[in-house]
Amino acid sequence: MGAKETFTFTSIPKSVDELKALPESDLSTPFKTCALTMLVLLNYANDVDGTIEMLNFLKGPEPMNPFQIQFLRDRLKGKEYVARSFFEGSSPQNNYVPAEPLKITVFDNPYSYPEAGWATLFMDSSGADSPRQIKCRLKPSTNQWFLVENMALSDIRTPVAADPWA
């Protein structure tokens, strides 16, 4: 196993200013960028536009395009629990309600760094059998890692409360 980092958050940012107040928002490692990506997605059900603004901060020089915004809507509308599934304490049985404070673990593997300045990191979802990934890219002039592609939002097991067959 390669590197693994666990991040702890006491609250969910509701704006870019609140996001920037977090120490991880220096985006100095791809691990921080991945953890923050999942954290801001927890705000999606409350404020779609605010969440997109925060994701654009994490995406740096390439903000979300209309296709990516629609993709996010398709993945999360009515399935906001998908983002919660990456945080400790969540499970299909408790409708993916994570423990507090919020903790998320991000890890790499031998294939995470295909070339310099690129990283694909992984997180476990309590509703999936295999880890999900996020791709980041380094901006050398600022030494920050920015979100390129979030491939972590595919369907997971239905929460028990929403499953007629549970």
Does the pLDDT of residue 110 top 90, yes or no?
Answer: yes
- Average pLDDT of the segment spanning 75-95: 95
The pLDDT of residue 2 is 87
Please give the average per-residue pLDDT across 10-30, as a whole number.
Answer: 98
CA 89/CA 132 separation, integer angstroms: 17
Task: Write out pLDDT tens, residues 145-157.
Answer: 999 999 999 999 9
State the Cα–Cα distance between residues 22 and 18, nearest whole angstrom.
7
Say if residues 80 and 97 touch (Cβ distance below 8 Å).
no
- pLDDT band for position 164 (cuts 50, 70, 90): confident
Residues 95, 159: contact at Cβ < 8 Å? yes
1, pLDDT greater than 80: no
pTM: 0.96
Q: Where are the alpha helices (DSSP H) in the chain?
A: 16-20, 30-41, 48-59, 66-76, 81-84
What mean pLDDT do residues 79-107 have? 97
Share of the chain above pLDDT 90, in %: 93
How far is C-alpha 138 from the geometric centre of its chain's CA atoms?
17
Percentage of the chain surpassing pLDDT 70? 99
Mean residue pLDDT across the chain? 96
Average pLDDT over residues 56-85: 95
Q: Judging by beta carbons within 10 Å of its beta carbon (0-12, 13-18, 19+), is residue 159 exposed, middle or buried?
A: buried
Domain boundaries, the chain: 4-162
157's enclosing H/E stretch is none
| Alpha carbons 91 and 166: distance in angstroms, whole number | 14
Whether a cis peptide bond, with omega within 30° of 0, leads into 92 is no
pLDDT at 161: 86
Break the chain down into helix, strand, coil percent, rounded to 5: 35, 20, 45
* Number of neighbouring beta carbons within 10 Å of residue 28: 14
